[in-house]
Amino acid sequence: MQSPRSFAMRRRLLAAGLLGAVAHPLSALAADTWPSKPVRMIVPFPPGGPVDTTARIFGQKLGEMWKVPVVIDNRPGAGGVIGATVAAKEPADGYSLFVGAIHHSVNPSLMGKLPYDIEKDFAPVSFATMYPIFVVVHPSVPANNIKEFIAYAKKSDKPLAFGSSGNGGGTHLAGELFNMEAGTKLQHIPYKGSAPAMSDLLGGQVQVMFSDAPTALPHIKTGRIKVLGVASRQRSAILPDVPTVAESGLPGYEAYSWSALFAPAHTPQPILNKLNADFNVAMNDPAVRQRMVQAGADADPGTQEQMRQRLHSEIEKWKKVIQTAGITAG
């Protein structure tokens, strides 16, 4: 005969089993009705920047598809940390999303302990955009491709200077990775933004930049700077005739900035599946892809698992660069 305690335990286990049995159908039902109200998309950078601009492009398209407003909520500060901290605490119901960026793969190594864990506190939806980085030089530099530039940099009497938008940013890390893989000793000069760095490149105070497309394009078109290559794995639709750094002198080199769409951890999988499917449809729309190019980005969607693996790979890649180059925050 069962003891009262055993009977009570059995009842609790049966109840738990029944709850487990209905959990999946209920979350599937939630996905069928989701979204039924506005969706908030937290962007951890100020309005007008590349991540904000591209988020508004795909946010508008998703809103049209879902027939509900997609509201951009800018929470800038601390290199993306403030927005990520806010987003990690949001309900896991699909109505609060987060647009992360390359900063969120760099910050764990650059800043140490953070109030969130980008891999544990968020569920990946999809990579969103790839912001190509172009290697550009002052016209006085006697090199017309990456191979010639590496040779010139190595034989120069003093280190060539490369400007960046700031210490620990994507354009800084791209230059340090170049040093590691090419064996050069380019000297980093940090600026407070891409515009002042480009101003000094135009004036010849620095000789090279690993620049985002919006900053470099106007001056490439006027011939005030020379473009030697694009740092991404593949050529960019922004300047399709420009070869990659890998194909023009430094095999294996790859650097770019990116953005990606996350949801809070524990968001029901059926909602994540719908999010990913709809997001891929939106990002593969020809009009959306063209608007991305105009904003200086290449659409770069994929699967949830691809995003999970790429995010981890990015964290490990930049950890090595930060440690090797001795980069610190600030």
Predicted local distance difference test score (pLDDT) of residue 112:
86
Low-confidence ranges of the chain (pLDDT < 50): 1-10, 13-23, 26
Separation CA 62–CA 271 (nearest Å): 14
Predicted local distance difference test score (pLDDT) of residue 32:
81
Domains 38-131+256-325 and 133-230 share a fold: yes
CATH fold of the domain at 133-230:
D-Maltodextrin-Binding Protein; domain 2 (3.40.190)
Predicted local distance difference test score (pLDDT) of residue 2:
47
Predicted local distance difference test score (pLDDT) of residue 27:
53
- Give the start-to-end residue ranges of the domains of the chain: 38-131+256-325, 133-230
**DSSP state, 172?**
H
Predicted local distance difference test score (pLDDT) of residue 20:
42
Predicted local distance difference test score (pLDDT) of residue 21:
41
Half-sphere exposure of 288 (CA within 13 A, CB side): 23
Separation CA 23–CA 29 (nearest Å): 10
Q: Which amino acid is at 74?
A: N
Cis peptide before 35 (omega within 30 of 0): yes
Q: Are 259 and 99 contacting, i.e. CB atoms less than 8 angstroms apart?
A: yes
- Answer whether CATH 3.40.50.720 is correct for domain 38-131+256-325: no
217 token code pair: 């394009």
Separation CA 299–CA 297 (nearest Å): 7
Distances (CA, A) of 152 to 70, 91, 176, 249: 50, 54, 17, 13
H or E element at residue 60: helix 50-66
Q: Return the ∠ at Cα 167 (arms to 188 and 212), rounded to 5°.
A: 80
